[in-house]
């Protein structure tokens, strides 16, 4: 890649960001299409200062990750409708000095889900977790008319999220045992299973069954404790890397205006995870 005075700069801001796979995926895409773009990771504590920097340096685009997805919003000039309704931004595009925020978690999650199972209207879906990622997921699933139940360690957060987006029901993680028999798709959007976090499955083996769709948005090089258990049980597994890739694809198009070179991005992700 040849960096010139015309190179457009993109990146990711968050704290921490040193584990992010986005630079690898996005730079592979720029190279595949020979675009004069570059993508870097910026550890950021002061999000307001980072957005000011984006304006003054004329950065083309930024992805935003934990803990800034919600706190970044007041510093932007515009939001697309999905980001406004979800209340979280993970992509900012600089259009001639005007900064617009988007949420690509919601479409990224849905694209990978629809590719695996088709339409989700009327499907009975349990979402574990009520944090930032779960917000985008519950928003997308309720928009698609799925029948969503939200279960979370803090049940009050699950209930608040359910009433905000019109989900079918909400409760604590312990309620899964009474719901699982009538569940088509189980989504893990808690942080349980992260490679450097709690290495256990959020779901007991006896609650899994052959044919159940298990979508674990937590991603890791091989499998997470949940996807490993689910595969052994004969569940249909959607790994978190699928959502990661799909969200990156949407962000790439927002940054560049080009269709994403999907295979180059997938290869780069798989290579890096090895
Ligand atoms: P948040 O910190 O906003 O939310 C974390 C969620 O996990 C909360 O619901 C929290 O429950 C729950 N949780 C945390 N620790 C425990 C525990 N020990 N036991 C039970 N529940 C727990 O994180 P995000 O929503 O942003 O991210 C969640 C996960 O999704 C992360 O692993 C992240 O890497 C992954 N992710 C993957 C993406 C992808 O593209 N594949 C995209 C975005 C996120 P409580 O409310 O009770 O604290």
Kindly report the CATH number assigned to the domain that includes residue 180: 3.40.50.720
Q: Is residue 3 part of a domain?
A: no
Q: Is residue 2 part of a domain?
A: no
233 and 114 assigned to the same domain: yes
End-to-end CA distance of the chain: 23
Q: Total structural domains in the chain?
A: 2
Q: Is residue 202 part of a domain?
A: yes
99 and 144 assigned to the same domain: no
Q: Is residue 1 part of a domain?
A: no
Q: Which of 25, 130, 133 to mutate to test the pocket of ligand 1 (most atoms within 8 A of CB)?
A: 133
Dihedral angle computed from the Cα positions of residues 263, 267, 273 and 274, in that order, rounded to the nearest 10 degrees? 150
Whole-number Å distance between alpha carbons of 78 and 98: 8
14 and 113 assigned to the same domain: no
H or E element: which one contains 63?
strand 61-64
pLDDT of residue 55: 98
CA distances from 216 to 2, 7, 10, 19, 192 (A): 38, 36, 28, 18, 10
165 and 76 assigned to the same domain: no
Rounded distance from Cα 203 to ligand 1 centre (Å): 15
CA distances from 8 to 11, 17, 64 (A): 10, 20, 18
153 and 191 assigned to the same domain: yes
Whole-number Å distance between alpha carbons of 221 and 77: 37
Q: Is residue 269 part of a domain?
A: yes
Rounded distance from Cα 41 to ligand 1 centre (Å): 21
99 and 161 assigned to the same domain: no
Rounded distance from Cα 243 to ligand 1 centre (Å): 14
Per-residue burial over 160-177, b = 16 or more CB atoms within 10 Å of its CB, e = otherwise: ebbeebebeebbebebbe
213 and 135 assigned to the same domain: yes
Question: Is the minimum distance from the CB of 226 to ligand 1 under 6 angstroms?
Answer: no
Domain with 155 in it:
106-238
Report the SS3 class of residue 32. Answer: helix
98 and 48 assigned to the same domain: yes
For position 18, which CATH number holds?
3.40.50.10860
252 and 217 assigned to the same domain: no
Which residues are within 8 A (CB) of 160 and not within 5 positions of it... i.e. 6 or more apart?
Answer: 130
pLDDT of residue 112: 97
110 and 234 assigned to the same domain: yes
Question: Is the minimum distance from the CB of 218 to ligand 1 under 6 angstroms?
Answer: yes
- Tell me the angle at which helices 132-143 and 155-165 cross, rounded to the nearest 10 degrees: 40
Q: Is residue 248 part of a domain?
A: yes
For residues 38 and 270, the answer to whether their CB atoms sit within 8 Å is no
pLDDT of residue 274: 83
226 and 266 assigned to the same domain: no
Whole-number Å distance between alpha carbons of 63 and 94: 12
Question: Is the minimum distance from the CB of 239 to ligand 1 under 6 angstroms?
Answer: no
Which of 69, 100, 123, 159 is an active site residue?
Answer: 69
Q: Would you say 221 is a known binding-site residue?
A: no
Rounded distance from Cα 39 to ligand 1 centre (Å): 25
Report the SS3 class of residue 136. Answer: helix
pLDDT of residue 11: 98
pLDDT of residue 254: 98
Q: What is the DSSP string of 203-269?
A: S-GGG--TT-EEEE----SS--HHHHHHHHHT-EEEEHHHHHHHHHHHHHHHHHSS---HHHHHHHH
Q: Is residue 63 part of a domain?
A: yes
Whole-number Å distance between alpha carbons of 206 and 204: 6
Walk along the chain (274 residues) and give the pLDDT tens digit of each residue.
789 999 999 999 999 999 899 999 999 999 999 999 999 999 999 999 999 999 999 999 999 999 999 999 999 999 999 999 999 999 999 999 999 999 999 999 999 999 999 999 999 999 999 998 999 999 999 999 999 999 999 999 999 999 999 999 999 999 999 999 999 999 999 999 987 788 899 999 999 999 999 999 998 878 999 999 999 999 999 999 999 999 999 999 999 999 999 999 999 999 998 8
87 and 128 assigned to the same domain: no
Q: Would you say 129 is a known binding-site residue?
A: yes
Q: Catalytic residue at 69? A: yes
- pTM (2 decimals)? 0.95
Q: Is residue 208 part of a domain?
A: yes
pLDDT of residue 198: 83
């Amino acid at each position: 890649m040849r960096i010139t005075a015309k190179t457009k700069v993109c990146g990711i801001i968050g704290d921490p960001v040193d584990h992010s796979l986005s630079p690898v995926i996005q730079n592979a895409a720029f190279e595949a299409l020979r675009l004069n773009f570059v993508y870097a990771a910026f550890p950021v504590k002061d999000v307001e200062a980072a957005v000011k920097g984006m304006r003054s340096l004329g950065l083309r685009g930024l992805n935003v990750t934990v803990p800034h997805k919600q706190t970044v919003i007041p510093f932007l000039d515009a939001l697309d409708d999905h980001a406004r309704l979800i209340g979280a931004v993970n992509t900012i595009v600089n259009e001639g000095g005007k900064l617009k925020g988007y949420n690509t978690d919601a479409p990224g999650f849905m694209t990978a889900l629809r590719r695996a199972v088709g339409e989700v209207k009327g499907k009975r879906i349990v979402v574990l977790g009520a944090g930032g990622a779960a917000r985008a997921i519950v928003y997308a699933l309720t928009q698609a008319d799925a029948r969503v139940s939200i279960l979370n360690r803090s049940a009050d957060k699950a209930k608040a999220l359910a009433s905000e987006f019109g989900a079918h029901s909400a409760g604590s993680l312990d309620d899964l045992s009474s719901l699982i028999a009538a569940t088509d798709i189980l989504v893990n959007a808690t942080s349980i299973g992260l490679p450097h976090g709690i290495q256990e499955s959020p779901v007991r083996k006896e609650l899994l069954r052959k044919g159940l769709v298990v979508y674990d948005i937590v991603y890791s090089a091989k499998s997470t404790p949940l996807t490993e258990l689910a595969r052994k049980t004969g569940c249909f597994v959607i790994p978190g890397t699928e959502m990661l890739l799909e969200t990156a694809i949407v962000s790439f198009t927002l940054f560049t205006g080009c269709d994403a070179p999907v295979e180059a991005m997938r290869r780069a992700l798989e290579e890096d995870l090895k």
